[in-house]
Amino acid sequence: MPKIAVLPGDGIGPEVTQETVKVLKVAAERFALSLVFEEGLLGGSAIDATGSPLPKETVRLCKESDAILFGAVGGPKWDALSTPIRPERGLLNLRRELSLYANLRPAKVFAALIDASPLKRAVVEGADILVVRELIGGIYYGDPKGIEKTPEGERAVDTCIYTTHEVKRIAEVAFQAALKRRRKVTSVDKANVMATSELWRGVVREVAEAYPEVTLEHMYSDNCAMQLVRDPKQFDVIVADNLFGDLLSDEAAMIVGSIGLLPSASLGTGTGLYEPVHGSAPDIAGKDLANPLAAILSAAMLLRYSLDHDEAARAVERAVEEVLHQGYRTIDIAQTGTKQISTKRMGDLVAEALAKG
């Protein structure tokens, strides 16, 4: 029986995760999947309970599971903590502990939500992008890192490091994904000013030689940010390092109308981790206002990539589309003429649509 580690985390994490587990249970019943769920602590909730953002018990649970469903971490309550014990560090350390080096973030415009995008219909209609982000290297992890005092004041250092091996394996993920899509990869870097980007561009070019059926283009990160707004339909698969991938995938989220709509999968050599792209949104936590669709769509990715059940994944995605087509919206995507509903109600409606098929 596949075991799913559930890490609700902080803020709205527990709310959206609860609705996602509800949907997964319906999927399990419909497709005869005997899923087992076990909760663990991560982030601020883990700090409160154990003093650590990533308890050893959580690491054990994740390594023993077939997939991980994660909510969100962080909040003002823990902002004053030092970097090594902040909630976000727990997630970063878990990614590294499981060698989850590839983050897949699809950004697809739903037909029912075109008018929710801040961009014109003609610009976004039909946009379907997959951002492949390197997840456990680069400036977020490099050493030395920190703030030190000098006679002239404080001095802060962040170090960006990439190796040939790290770039090659994430490029392989991007090209493999492109083979199943529209066969185009846009590699994002700043090779005009950064040594790591020079290496990145060269290695990606070498990997591309093994994929002659895939078109490769290189694009500077600032230009890519502009092009995403100007003409998002030009992109198929975007592959980027940890920093650029983080920024560009959040920008892609707004193209589709709300960051509350974007799922993600973190894959590598360990147990796959699935999470909504959005943060913990402490300002609306506990108010039954959060959009659970990104978390629910992350569960669809879990079914597809970790449980190898594409039929169930597509059924979840169709259920989400059906509910949106019926005009139901959480507050972040509500518009005149739509039916605004709560977090729990959205979860119920998706589960009902999934059960009906």
List all residues 6 or more positions away from 292 whose beta carbon is below 8 Å from its beta carbon: 15, 16, 19, 20, 330, 343, 346, 347, 350
Q: For residue 330, what are the CA distances in angstroms to 10, 70, 278, 289?
A: 20, 20, 14, 7
CATH class for the region spanning 118-255: alpha beta
For residue 106, list its beta bridge partners: 130
Given this model, what pLDDT does residue 257 score?
79
For the chain, the structural domain boundaries read 1-108+261-357, 118-255
Q: For residue 178, what are the CA distances in angstroms to 130, 136, 183, 277?
A: 9, 22, 5, 21
Q: Which residue is associated with the tokens 């990715």?
A: 301
Instruction: Tell me the mean pLDDT per 10 residues along the chain, length 357.
Output: 97 98 98 97 97 97 98 95 91 94 93 87 94 96 94 97 98 96 98 98 98 98 97 97 94 82 92 94 96 97 95 97 96 91 98 95
List all residues 6 or more positions away from 2 whose beta carbon is below 8 Å from its beta carbon: 33, 34, 35, 36, 66, 67, 306, 307
Given this model, what pLDDT does residue 349 score?
98
CATH class for the region spanning 1-108+261-357: alpha beta
Given this model, what pLDDT does residue 353 score?
98
Supply the residues annotated as catalytic.
140, 190, 222, 246, 250
Given this model, what pLDDT does residue 113 score?
87
Torsion angle in degrees (nearest 10) through CA of 297, 298, 301, 306: -150
The amino acid present at 70, given as its one-letter code, is F
Spell out the alpha helix ranges (H) of the chain: 13-30, 44-50, 56-64, 87-97, 121-124, 164-179, 195-208, 221-230, 242-255, 293-305, 310-325, 343-356
- Asked, colleague to colleague, whether 1-108+261-357 and 118-255 share their fold, the answer is yes
Given this model, what pLDDT does residue 30 score?
97
Given this model, what pLDDT does residue 256 score?
84
Rounded to whole angstroms, how far apart are CA atoms 284 and 267?
30
